[in-house]
């Protein structure tokens, strides 16, 4: 099975810039064990910009998806936990409801994985095939809470749902 990093397409340059998120969200709690410490539903404001587009995936400051993407995720991972986050541009009366899926952390990175200098993001993801489970979407253990890896079948389902701004980067695999 093939896997991809799911993220915002790099061509989207007018995405929402979320204000004040650090005061409301301790990103260390974005995991299955501690997610109960996060608000179940929240409202976050974005910088006002008449050109802002709300894409189907947001990777910063944490991984968020619209209802269309989340519906696809729930088909493949029915028990997934999520938090709801509404992004609002009050000046231009624009808003979008997002879901923050709490992704399972999977220890699946091969030593050939190339990290960027911050050791939170990747230059190249190399997955160890022998450590991959049946998860359709997950976060590699040790990676930041903004990294989401999806299986090919889920990626195809997401793309068929009239989504916008979806980016997919293929993952490499270790030779078994």
Whole-number pLDDT of residue 13? 75
Question: Coil, helix or strand for 24?
Answer: helix
67-76 vs 152-159: helix crossing angle, rounded to 10: 150
Question: Coil, helix or strand for 101?
Answer: strand
Rounded to two decimals, the pTM is 0.91
Structure tokens at 68: 């269309």
Give the integer Cα–Cα distance in Å for 6 and 101: 13
Whole-number pLDDT of residue 121? 72
Structure tokens at 16: 């929402």
Each residue's pLDDT tens digit, 124-156:
889 998 899 899 999 998 887 788 999 999 999
% of the chain at pLDDT higher than 90? 61
């Amino acid at each position: 099975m093939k896997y991809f990093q799911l993220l915002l397409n790099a061509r989207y340059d007018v995405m929402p810039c979320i204000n004040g998120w650090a005061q409301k969200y301790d990103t260390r709690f974005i995991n299955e064990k501690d997610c109960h410490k996060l608000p179940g539903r929240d409202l976050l404001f974005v910088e006002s910009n008449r050109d802002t587009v709300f894409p189907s995936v947001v990777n910063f400051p944490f991984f968020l998806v619209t209802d269309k993407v989340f519906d696809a995720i729930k088909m493949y991972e029915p028990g997934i936990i999520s938090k709801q986050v509404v992004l609002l541009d009050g000046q231009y009366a624009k808003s979008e409801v997002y879901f923050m899926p709490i992704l399972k952390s999977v220890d699946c990175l091969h030593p050939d994985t190339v990290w960027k200098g911050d050791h939170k993001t990747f230059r190249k993801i190399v997955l160890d095939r022998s450590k991959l489970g049946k998860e359709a979407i997950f976060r590699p253990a040790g990676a930041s809470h903004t990294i989401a890896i999806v299986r090919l079948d889920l990626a195809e389902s997401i793309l068929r749902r009239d989504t916008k701004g979806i980016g997919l980067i293929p993952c490499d695999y270790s030779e078994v």
